Chain A
Amino acid sequence: MLCSRCGKNEASVHFKQIVNNQVAQIDLCVDCAKSADLPGAAVSPIFDLLSKLGGLPPGREARPKDLLCRACGLRYSSFRETGMLGCPSCYESFAGPLSAVLKQIHGASRHGGKAPAGSPDRRRIEEDAAKLRELLKKAVAAEDFEEAARLRDRLRALGRD
């Protein structure tokens, strides 16, 4: 069997790889296997991220001026190259373009999960959940099951069901 990359040498390295959620059989010669993304070599999620960044509609990002994070000295252009931010304050410093990036990656722009113990956000979630539980109890007592189901969904969305 010939190498599937160069088509010249005999293939001696055989493995299966997932490409776009499909399993493909890969047969390479020793030379091509050395230069290829070798099996097991880490493929960083950053590549995926960068392709998403590249796909952002132009104009929605601050292109003319390269933003700077004063806390850590990172420039936005550097984030575009590596996909890595420098510090938590980068999220504020680059808030404009980053909100588009986050939306692009996650398809959402508002965190709906937990918050650190003792934080104001956690207290807000706990208070909301307590209120909903109270309403749920009343709805069940009144045998308003439609309302109860709706309240249960809201509790679930808070991660507190």
Chain B
Amino acid sequence: MQLSNMLRFKMGWAEPAGPSHEVVLSSRVRLARNLSGRPFPGRSTPKATAAVLSEALAAARKAKALAKAASILLEELEETERVFLVERYLISRLLAQATRSRGVVVGEREILSLMINEEDHLRLQGIDSGLCLEKLFDQTDSVDDDLSRSLEFAFHPDWGYLAACPTNAGTGLRASCLVHLPGLGLTGQINRVLDGLSRLGVVVRGLYGEGTKVTGDLYQVSNATALGPAERSLISSVSKVVGTLVQRELEARRSLAEGSHGTRLEDLVYRSLGVLQNARVISYEESMQHLSYIRLALSLGWKIPASLDAVNELTVLARPGHIQMLAGRALDAGERDFLRASLLRKKFS
């Protein structure tokens, strides 16, 4: 399979269609599953790992929602292609590193995907636009049921689904939302708001999973625990917290756009537009900060020569692996910054 073909297709979550998409860039639901009686991938033999891969691929082919999915074997990919898949939220860094007998099944519009032999035998994921955790759980839940008809999952009556790391035992669920909070950042409320979240059973991370770095005012909010409450109850807690964040962010955005503040915001936005339209060399970090202000302006309905879906896509397209995929070869940082700037100029012309 030619991964560069994927560049021509839109990622489903990037389409600004879901509820509260002006603040919630995407929602993601992940279920961790393991086969009973087999060592976890980290302690498995090459032969056992290969067996899990082929059984999992066969089971995925029988799952209704994955009928048109593409199966990708990591060992057949170049390094640049693996980075590309990490950036598209389809595989983790861990899976990109250990490639032998590792795979990923990618469904239509890249909404459903299944990582095989990551930390756990199976990591089923659903990702889509806006605040839509319930819908994504319905979808992954039914794929999970289909898979469990061909595979015997490790399950304990008290501890639920057993995972390689006990933090994932129980439901194996992580429900997370990627939220865009430039308003709370600009009004200086972000720390007070995030502080309040730690008591509500959620964890806040930066853009790419476990990292703590904040890029482009994007934050990932997810459930802190996975064992005890039923999946739908864990999901509704995260949805509630995110719903509150959406309200606070929208209030902050309105106050930023009013009166004398309005001119300052306008200045910030149009300076960012100027950079994106004119820069000859730009890093990912810097482009994300400018894209953040453009995204804010678009959500306020300002007339800017760009669309929300283009900006959503650029948060991924401007990443190093995507720039290299566009060039068709590995590039050094200087070359990437040059190519990124010309990509952005084209998108904002």
A residues in contact (CB < 8 Å) with B: 15-23, 39-46, 48-49, 71-72, 74, 83-89, 91, 98, 101-102, 105-119, 121, 156-159, 161
Contacts and interface: CB of A to CB of B under 8 A. Distances in A.
Nearest to B94: A42
Contacts of A88: 34, 36-38, 40, 154, 162
B227 interface: yes
B225 A43 contact: no
Interface residues of B, number: 64
A72 B229 CA distance: 30
Given A111-B227, A116-B153, A158-B230, A85 B166 contact: yes
A91 B156 contact: yes
Nearest to A39: B213
Contacts of A44: 210
Nearest to A87: B39
Contact of B228 (A16, A21, A23, A106): A106
Interface string B145-162: 100110011111111111
B169 interface: yes
10 contacts: A18-B205, A21-B204, A41-B211, A88-B36, A88-B40, A106-B170, A106-B225, A109-B227, A111-B170, A118-B148
Nearest to A79: B166
B82 to A, nearest CB: 15
B255 interface: no
Contacts of A119: 148, 155
B334 interface: no
B300 to A, nearest CB: 23
B191 interface: yes
Nearest to B168: A45
Given A40-B213, A102-B159, A22 B228 contact: no
| Pairs of residues from A and B, 8 with the lowest C-beta to C-beta distance, nearest first | A108-B228, A111-B160, A159-B230, A88-B154, A106-B227, A16-B214, A39-B213, A86-B43
Interface stretch (B12-20, B194-202, B238-246): B194-202
Contacts of A158: 230
Contacts of B160: 111, 113, 115
Given A45-B165, A85-B166, A111-B158, 17 more contacts: A15-B213, A23-B214, A43-B210, A43-B212, A83-B166, A84-B42, A84-B164, A102-B159, A105-B167, A106-B170, A112-B233, A113-B230, A115-B155, A116-B152, A117-B145, A118-B149, A119-B155
Contact of B232 (A22, A84, A110, A156): A156
Nearest to B174: A45
A116 B198 CA distance: 32
